Amino acid sequence: MAVETAPATTTGTRRMKVHVTVNGQAHEVEVETRTLLVHFLRENLGMTGTHIGCDTTNCGACTVLLNGRPVKSCTVFAVQADGMSVATVEGLEKDGKLDPVQEGFHEEHGLQCGFCTPGMMITAAALLAANPDPSELQIRQAISGNLCRCTGYVNIVKSIQYAARKTRETAGGKAPDGG
């Protein structure tokens, strides 16, 4: 899909129209070419579940799925997402029902302050989509790009293990006890 370039504004800033699908809903918005995806989501679309932490890709609080892959939205320009699909933490819940990842974080107390939680949940959702039965090591490796200063990760790992079990049970394959 071609992106139409608008003329420079009086300040010299270029604007472009982006076509992006966020959580299944199509959006067509004109943005400054320097607008980061995280700011586009929060400011242009009002989706504040994606948090701004470090702005340097270190913390992972801004993680979203871009065409199904986890990316840190603080280092992706909105225009780079043109024609793509974005999934945010707001998109996990379907028809008023919590996603197994959200349910897991609730049931296993996988959050304290909650700042890292959206990025952790999105990363977990991507992991479980690729691997519905991850080992503890695989979970820890998957979330290694997401920092949490509160929990020590134990309950986050338990939350993702819960979500994996729940997802497998829902899919029809009973999960083994404790795993």
- pLDDT per residue as tens digits for the range 84-131: 999 999 999 999 999 999 999 999 999 989 999 999 999 999 999 999
pLDDT category, 175, cuts 50, 70, 90? very low
Above 50 in pLDDT, residue 178?
Answer: no
**In the prediction, which pLDDT does 9 show?**
56
Q: Taking the domains of the chain in order of start, what are their residue ranges?
A: 5-91, 100-170
**Cβ(25)–Cβ(86) below 8 Å:** no
pLDDT category, 152, cuts 50, 70, 90? confident
pLDDT category, 10, cuts 50, 70, 90? low
CATH of domain 100-170: 1.10.150.120
**In the prediction, which pLDDT does 6 show?**
54
Alpha helices in 58-107 (DSSP H): 100-107
**Cβ(82)–Cβ(18) below 8 Å:** yes
Q: Label residue 21 exposed, middle or buried (CB < 10 Å: 0-12, 13-18, 19+).
A: middle
pTM over 0.85: yes
Return the CA Rg of the chain: 18
Above 60 in pLDDT, residue 2?
Answer: no
Both tokens assigned to 106: 């609730």
CATH of domain 5-91: 3.10.20.30
3-state helix, strand, coil in the chain (%, to 5): 35, 20, 45
**In the prediction, which pLDDT does 176 show?**
43
Number of other CB atoms surrounding residue 138 within 10 Å: 15
**In the prediction, which pLDDT does 151 show?**
79
Above 60 in pLDDT, residue 134?
Answer: yes
Q: Read off the pLDDT of each residue in 148-172 and give the average, rounded to a whole number.
A: 93
